[in-house]
A and B are shown apart, each in its own frame.
Chain A
Amino acid sequence: MLWEIDIRPAAGQVDRGAAQAAAAAEELGYGAGLKISAARGFLIEGEFSREQIDRLANELFVDRIVETAAVAPAGDDILDACAGSQATPTYVLPKPGVMDPAAQSALAAIQDFELTATAVRTFRKYWIEGVGASDWKSFCGKVLANDAIEQVIVGKLPFRQIELGSAYQFSRITVPIRELDEGGLKRLSREGQLYLQPAEMQTIQSHFRDLGRDPTDAELETLAQTWSEHCSHKTLGGRVAYRGPEGEEQRFESLLKETIFAATRQIRRELGEADWCVSVFEDNAGIVRFDEEHNLVFKVETHNHPSALEPYGGANTGLGGVIRDPLGTGLGAKPVCNTDVFCFAPPDRPAESLPPGVLHPKRVMRQVVAGVRDYGNRMGIPTVNGALYFDERYLGNPLVYCGTVGILPRDKSRKQPRVGDHIVALGGRTGRDGIHGATFSSAELTSESESLSGGAVQIGNAITEKMLLDVVLAARDRDLFNAITDCGAGGFSSAVGEMGERIGAEVWLDRAPLKYEGLSYTEIWISEAQERMVLSVSPAQWPELERLCRSEGVEATIIGRFSPTSRLQLFYGGEMVADLPMEFLHNGRPPVVREAVYQPAAETPIAWPVDAPVDNNQALLAILGSLNVASKEWVIRQYDHEVQGGSVIKPLVGAANDGPSDAAVVRPRLESRRGLVVSCGMNPRYGDWDTRHMAASAIDEAVRNCVAVGADPSRIAILDNFCWGDCERPETLGALVRAALACREMAVSLGTPFISGKDSLNNEFRYVDSSGSPQTIAIPPSLLISALGQVADVAKCVSMDLKAAGNLLYLVGETKDELGGSHLTMVQGLAGGAVPKVDPARAKETFQAIFRAIDGGWVQACHDLSEGGLAVAAAEMAFAGGLGAKIYLAQAPHNVDLAAYGERSETIDPILLFSESNSRFLCEVRPGDVGHFEAALGDVPHAAVGEVHGGGRLQIVDFHADNPDHTIDLEIETLRAAWKAPLAW
């Protein structure tokens, strides 16, 4: 029997489901005349008496103080009605096979009542009036459900049992590749969702021609997964022929090795004995030293394409995936904090202007935040840092970067699978979810991606992963395995293939625990079902590991063995279904050779308006109220940023707990005073000028954010995440090469090593517009730099909020005429200008000087200057501290060519106020500490530019010394309000 339990808010309680749907409907223009009631519910299959099902409803499913329930066999008339509504009910259910965590939990919880259900499924249910018949389909797709993972049923449920998949009939499938011509290979690559290049398909073809047989589907899929852009980074790891702006030509055998990796190698060589990197670019995350007993690990990943189609699930599993990276690094690091950076199209875009197949950016943003929130909070990992960037070009292709820092005992930093070890699958079961994720993420998105690649989209189950995390750390501490890695893109195929690369592996696919019947051996092999790890466990270790896992309720299953064959061999029920040499799998891919060319945009002077000078008050308010700069409190507070108890500098600081911190500081060991610092830097706008300066600026920003709270610049490690467009276009790849070269130069000059990274290419969205012509939206070059710093004693950290009236304000670093790509030009609609550049030697001196000053205790507050320059930094410090300030522009250290402007202060002022020159800080210093502070700064350009006031106004005196006047004069409450307005959802 299939029972249905509908749960509705009790009288007088808020109908949250309806309110949520109504809000979404209103945003999409369905507002008028709409009437919605909502329920949530469960379908429960099992032989229950009426009394038993009522008891389950009352004691398990319904909170009787705030909810009421209708309980009946599915299809019963009483389930159709909703008090006060004439409408027919509409059900929204997860599609069969989609992860349904609440249903899983319910199934287990019913057993506590000594009852048994055979299956459970959750649903949402709506009674809707006021949507016209012609709008109904789009209303369902845009407001109620997401076709990628959910189905909509109007009226009575048409089924009386829950489908669980049917038994699988084994048959070995071979793919006749040997006979195919060029067109046939191309077709196979595309239609089989392999997304391999023609040369790669030919290499596979000749491999099997030599063997005199055709590959099985599993062999072909294994090659496609392993050779995918997502798993092998063939573009960045591959050969590139590059021609730069001056016509200079450069050939790379491996772009990454010769730029990013090379920088780290050089830094480590120069450090010699003092090298504090432990493992870089080899394990699932980079590893650096922390204290005498512990190392830190850090990884940032992207999950862009799944988030475009199903933002909640995409972000959910994006974070879930990156958490497994530190957990799968060394012998398992404990995650201690997360960082999340998102790029969206502006959320205020009119719904009717969206291209087909695109979710509304506001919905994307809400659901991405919810996905990260629900996973991170449940995992008990504080999300302490992040950023949001907005640009029209992220429409249809949002970016979701998720990162996790972990802590690892120093003697657990290396892994080594051994010959004869069991291959053990740990954690969640394997299902049909996430098939072809790795190859899908290496293709462009199109308006049809949703229907083609629905299987690649998943929902996570954080509690399964939390249980996995608990058991892995316990097993690590008891030495119960020799190696560990996560099942990410490519599932078992990537995890086992990588781990057994130097030994060889045989896998018995029929032994893998499945969520439901019916999976073919290939589906088992490539499924990217979440929350799974693969361990290498010796026969001696196995019994205790098995006991431990059972005691924690975590499933552990031997699915194979690392055998000294140098081959990857797959079996299903005794039949061999794949047999590939590890050498061919890992090194057989023909090198991708790509052409790259770059020409930065020509630098033109800003066309300042002649008749109407910039109103600096208005410009400041407009920048504070622009999406990139505006307060992210709505996001931040939804994340638990204090769990684990190590929070030192929170994302929001200041007198009213609402100022924007530069970086987060966390004490990962509660018994120690040592802290870690997490920050980031990114500025896609600069890439429109020159990706070299964009990359250098991003590194400068990430490092200076870290330094601004007190991190030691000689102990900062960074990560690169390149999100780019289609790199088969030489110009697009050229922009990337230009950025990678700048990364090498900056990292070496600063002595700041890259320790890990990841790229995501093909971030483009293709569709056909209303006039029938094909369109492509490519994202702007988007390089995220994430920084991991350290502080010896967290008590020395400083925050950015002003502390006390009477203190002095020092501007550190030189202001240049650099308004190209700035937020001033954005809000004023001005063209031209020079993009901010970095003087790496000067940057290094400045960071060291700031560290000396903070470490000495001579700084009360410190804020980095970034978007909006000096004016925005001063405004944020003032309202965060609840204090006023007066600043004199004439005192600012600068190298603006005054002669070029004829000293017209209407032009000099906005330059000094809003220029986004790098390597600058605004510091608050007590009058008695001035001598120490200035001594700490040494030769680094700095000047006392003003002081802190109690008056509650920010006043900035213009540059023109003869006739000083306030070019900015605003209440701090006005500044705060402008800054809070846009994203106060």
Chain B
Amino acid sequence: MTSVLVLRAPGTNCDRETAFAFERAGANAECQHVNRLLEKPRLLDDFQILCLPGGFSYGDDLGSGKILANQIRHHLADAIREFRERDKLILGICNGFQILVKSGLLFDDEPGGTPTATLDWNGSARFEDRWVQLSVMGERCVFLRGIQSLYLPVAHGEGRFAPRDEKALCEILDDQRAALRYAARREVGHFEAAGNAVLAPAAGGESKLSFGGELPFPDNPNGSAANIAGVCDRSGRVFGLMPHPERYIDRTQHPRWTRGGGSDPGDGQQIFKNAVEYFG
């Protein structure tokens, strides 16, 4: 059976439901405190999937995910890189995505150098919980195989994907690593419809940082560059996303299930299923 380590830290708060979603996908999921991993990094050997769930690790007091990201950078980077090289999977959801970006794991940033990207405060400058339409781009991401569109909730204050510069963004887009994008709703009353395809990444040379291609709020709920909601690494086996797939695995979690909306299982379940099925 595929085994999943759901890593929690002080302030992590989506660990239980994330473990539950993995279990429903057929995995064996364990929630462990980061202190256990710091004491014994080889603990990772027991698992095939590492998941960093949502929450406010260490209160996000120095910026979202920053403190846990630094702990990983200083004490766990080698162990986690080795984990990744052994054909295993890493998933970061919401705060977990922030940690993956800020620890340098997702972009293989040099310590001390300027990072490739960050997740900054929402354009609205406040925390918001709302459902968004999402489109999958490319086929690189293992977690998104076979998925075209998703309808999931976001719940965050710091989710605006901001690349270092245009070159960094182009590389991410050209590598098909910006695997998940915020998409346009169709019309009021027909949200259930499958997600629309977003504009294809603009051809090279044209400024992608001009925000010309960004959807307006609330379709793009935080003002992310190129409507980026989730990013994978080059291998496609490390994936971080702002939306919460674990919050839509049951039809009654859908905001309009009382009007016939939603499905069983919910859209989010397939992400966990893909991860588990990757190991046969």
**Nearest chain-B residue to A645 (Cβ)?**
B17
Question: Is the Cβ of B131 less than 8 Å from the Cβ of A657?
Answer: yes
In the bound complex, residues from chain A placing their C-beta under 8 Å from that of B67 are 60, 105, 108-109, 112
Contact partners of A798 in chain B: CB under 8 A: 258
Q: Is A930 engaged at the interface, CB distance under 8 Å to the other chain?
A: no
Given that A14-B125, A66-B120, A112-B74 are known contacts, is A378 also in contact with B56, CB under 8 Å in the complex? yes
Is the beta-carbon distance between B155 and A102 smaller than 8 angstroms? no
Interface size class of B (residues with CB under 8 A): 35 or more
Task: State whether the Cβ of B30 lies closer than 8 Å to any Cβ in chain A.
Answer: no
Across the interface, do A66 and B252 meet the contact criterion of CB distance under 8 Å? no
On whether the beta carbons of A639 and B246 are closer than 8 Å, the reply is no
CB distance B162 to A65 under 8 Å? yes
Cβ-based interface call for B66 (8 A): yes
**Per-residue A-contact encoding for B242-268, CB less than 8 Å = 1, 0 else:** 001011011011011011100000000
Contact with A along B94-128 (1 / 0, CB 8 A): 00000000000000000110110110110001111
Please state if A102 and B61 are interface contacts (CB–CB under 8 Å). yes
Neighbouring A residues of B164 by C-beta, 8 Å: 65
Question: Beyond A19-B125, A59-B112, A65-B114, is A657–B130 a contact (Cβ under 8 Å)?
Answer: yes
Contact stretch, chosen from B8-16, B136-144, B229-237: B8-16
Q: Closest approach, in angstroms, between the C-beta of A144 and any C-beta of chain B?
A: 18
Tell me, in angstroms, the Cα distance from A379 to B61 when the chains sit together. Answer: 14
Contact between chains at B118 and A65 (CB < 8 Å): yes
Evaluate whether A109 and B62 lie within 8 angstroms (CB atoms) in the complex, with A552-B33, A642-B155 already known: yes
Contact B70 A112 (CB under 8 A): yes
Q: Is the CB of B247 within 8 A of A645?
A: yes
Of B21, B56, B74, B112, most buried by chain A (CB within 10 Å of CB) is B56
The distance from the CB of A111 to the nearest CB of chain B, in whole angstroms, is 10
Given contacts A551-B35, A553-B10, A655-B256, contact A109 B56 (CB under 8 A): no
Q: Which one of A271-279, A460-468, A821-829, A886-894 is at the interface?
A: A460-468
Instruction: Check A102 against B62 for contact (C-beta < 8 Å).
Output: yes
A799 touches which one: B66, B75, B126, B259 (CB < 8 A)? B259
Interface centre among B21, B71, B256 (most CB of A within 10 A): B256
A377–B131 CB distance below 8 A? no
* Cα of A623 to Cα of B60 in the assembled complex, Å: 41
The CA-CA distance from A102 to B36 in the complex, in Å, is: 24
Q: Is A678 an interface residue (CB 8 A)?
A: no
* A985 to chain B: closest residue by CB: B126
Interface string of B1-44 (1 = CB under 8 A from A): 00000001011111011001100000000000101100000000
Q: Of the 9-residue stretches A213-221, A236-244, A646-654, which lies at the interface with chain B?
A: A646-654
Please give, as numbers and ranges, the residues of chain B lying within 8 Å of A553 by CB-CB distance: 10, 35
Judge whether B129 and A642 touch: CB under 8 Å: yes
* Distance of A64 Cα from B101 Cα, bound (Å): 13
Tell me the bound Cα distance from A470 to B61 in angstroms.
Answer: 19
In angstroms, Cα B258 to Cα A638, docked, is 24
Tell whether A656 pairs with B63 under 8 Å between CB atoms, given A553-B10, A645-B253. Answer: no
* Chain A positions within 8 Å of B129 at CB level: 636-642
Q: Is the CB of A380 within 8 A of B162?
A: no
Q: Which bracket fits the contact residues of A?
A: 35 or more
Out of B58, B120, B126, name the residue touching A105 (CB < 8 Å): B58
CB pair A64 B114 closer than 8 Å:
yes
Closest chain A residue to B117 by CB distance?
A: A65
B195 sits at the interface (CB 8 A): no
Interface residues of B in 164-197 (CB under 8 A from A): 164, 188-189, 191
Interface presence of B55 (CB below 8 A): yes
Q: For the complex, what is the distance from the CA of A108 to the CA of B253, rounded to whole Å?
A: 38
Q: Is the CB of B253 within 8 A of A656?
A: no
Residue-wise, chain A 375-418 has the 8 Å CB interface mask toward B (1 for contact) of 00111100000000000000000000000000000000000000
In this assembly, does B213 line the interface, its C-beta being within 8 Å of a C-beta of chain A? Answer: no
Interface string of A923-957 (1 = CB under 8 A from B): 00000000000000000000000000000000000
Contacting residues, chain A, for B92 (C-beta < 8 A): none
* A61, A106, A112: the one within 8 Å of B71 (CB): A112
Does A882 count as interface, using CB distance less than 8 angstroms? yes
Q: Are A655 and B112 in contact (CB under 8 A)?
A: no
Residues of chain B lying within 8 A (CB to CB) of residue A125:
none
Task: Please report the C-alpha to C-alpha distance between residue A640 and residue B55 in the assembled complex, in whole angstroms.
Answer: 11
The answer to whether B258 touches A799, judged by C-beta atoms less than 8 angstroms apart, is: yes
Q: How far is the CB of B29 from chain A (nearest CB, A)?
A: 12
Report the minimum CB–CB distance from A77 to chain B (whole Å).
Answer: 27
Complex Cα–Cα for A510 and B16 (A): 39
Residue from B59, B153, B255, B258 in contact with A463 in the complex, judged by beta carbons closer than 8 Å: B59
Shortest C-beta distance, A985 to chain B (Å), equals: 10
- Most A C-beta atoms less than 10 A away, residue of B12, B73, B120: B120
Interchain CA distance A59-B117 in the complex, whole Å: 14
User: Which residues from chain A contact B74 at a C-beta distance below 8 Å?
Assistant: 112-113
Residue A643 at the chain B interface, CB threshold 8 Å? yes
**A66 with B118: in contact, given A641-B129, A657-B255 (CB under 8 Å)?**
yes
- A-chain residues with CB within 8 Å of residue B126 when the two chains form the complex: 638
Are the CB atoms of B75 and A112 closer together than 8 Å?
A: yes
Check if B63 sits within 8 Å of A63, measured CB to CB. yes
A461 to B59 alpha-carbon distance, docked (Å): 8
Contact residues in A for B55 (Cβ distance below 8 Å) = 378, 380
Cβ B188 vs Cβ A667 within 8 A? no
Does A16 interact with chain B (Cβ within 8 Å)? yes
Determine the chain B residues whose CB is within 8 A of the CB of A670 once the complex forms.
Answer: 16-17, 20, 250
- Residue A118 interfacial (CB < 8 Å): no
Q: What 0/1 pattern do residues 47 to 83 of B give for CB contact below 8 A with A? A: 0000000111011111100110011011100000000
A639 vs B127: C-alpha distance when bound (angstroms): 8
In the complex, chain B residues whose CB is within 8 Å of the CB of A466: 10-11, 13
The answer to whether A795 has its CB under 8 Å from any CB of chain B is yes
Q: Are B58 and A109 in contact (CB under 8 A)?
A: yes
**A59-B70 contact in complex given A102-B59, A551-B33, A637-B130, C-beta closer than 8 Å:** yes
A638 CB contact (under 8 Å) in B16, B59, B127, B256: B127
Please indicate the chain A residues that have their CB under 8 angstroms from the CB of B14 in the complex: 380, 643-645
Most buried by B among A638, A642, A644, A797: A642
CB distance from A44 to the nearest CB of B (A): 12
What is the chain B residue whose CB lies nearest that of A637? B128
Distance (whole angstroms) from the CB of B24 to the closest CB of chain A: 9
Cα separation A125 to B191 with both chains bound (whole Å): 44
Q: How far is the CA of A949 from the CA of B225 in the complex (A)?
A: 42
Residue in chain B with minimal CB distance to A667: B252
Which residues of A lie under 8 Å from residue B118 when comparing CB positions? 63, 65-66
Q: How far is the CB of A51 from chain B (nearest CB, A)?
A: 11
Compute how far the CA of A656 lies from the CA of B20 in the bound complex, rounded to whole angstroms.
Answer: 29
Q: Is the CB of A794 within 8 A of B70?
A: no
Decide if A463 touches B189 in the complex (CB within 8 Å).
no
User: When each residue 53-67 of chain A gets 1 if its CB lies under 8 Å from chain B and 0 otherwise, what string results?
Assistant: 001001111011110
Whether A380 contacts B66 by the Cβ 8 Å rule is no
Please indicate the chain A residues that have their CB under 8 angstroms from the CB of B125 in the complex: 14, 16, 19-20
CA distance A333 to B52 in the complex (A): 26
- The 8 A CB mask of A757-798 against B (1 = contact, 0 = none) is 000000000000000000000000000000000000011011
Q: Which of A463, A639, A655 contacts B56 (CB 8 A)?
A: A463
Residues of A with C-beta under 8 A to B244: 642
CA distance A862 to B56 in the complex (A): 37
Identify the B interface with A (CB < 8 A). Answer: 8, 10-14, 16-17, 20-21, 33, 35-36, 54-56, 58-63, 66-67, 70-71, 73-75, 111-112, 114-115, 117-118, 120-121, 125-131, 153, 155, 162-164, 188-189, 191, 244, 246-247, 249-250, 252-253, 255-256, 258-260
Closest 4 CB pairs of A and B: A380-B13, A645-B17, A105-B61, A463-B59
What are 11 A-B pairs with beta-carbon distances under 8 A? A65-B115, A466-B11, A551-B33, A552-B33, A637-B130, A643-B17, A643-B247, A647-B253, A654-B256, A654-B259, A657-B191
Given contacts A64-B115, A670-B16, 18 further A-B contacts (CB under 8 A): A14-B125, A16-B121, A63-B118, A105-B61, A109-B67, A463-B11, A463-B61, A466-B11, A638-B129, A642-B129, A642-B155, A643-B17, A644-B13, A645-B246, A648-B252, A652-B255, A656-B189, A667-B252
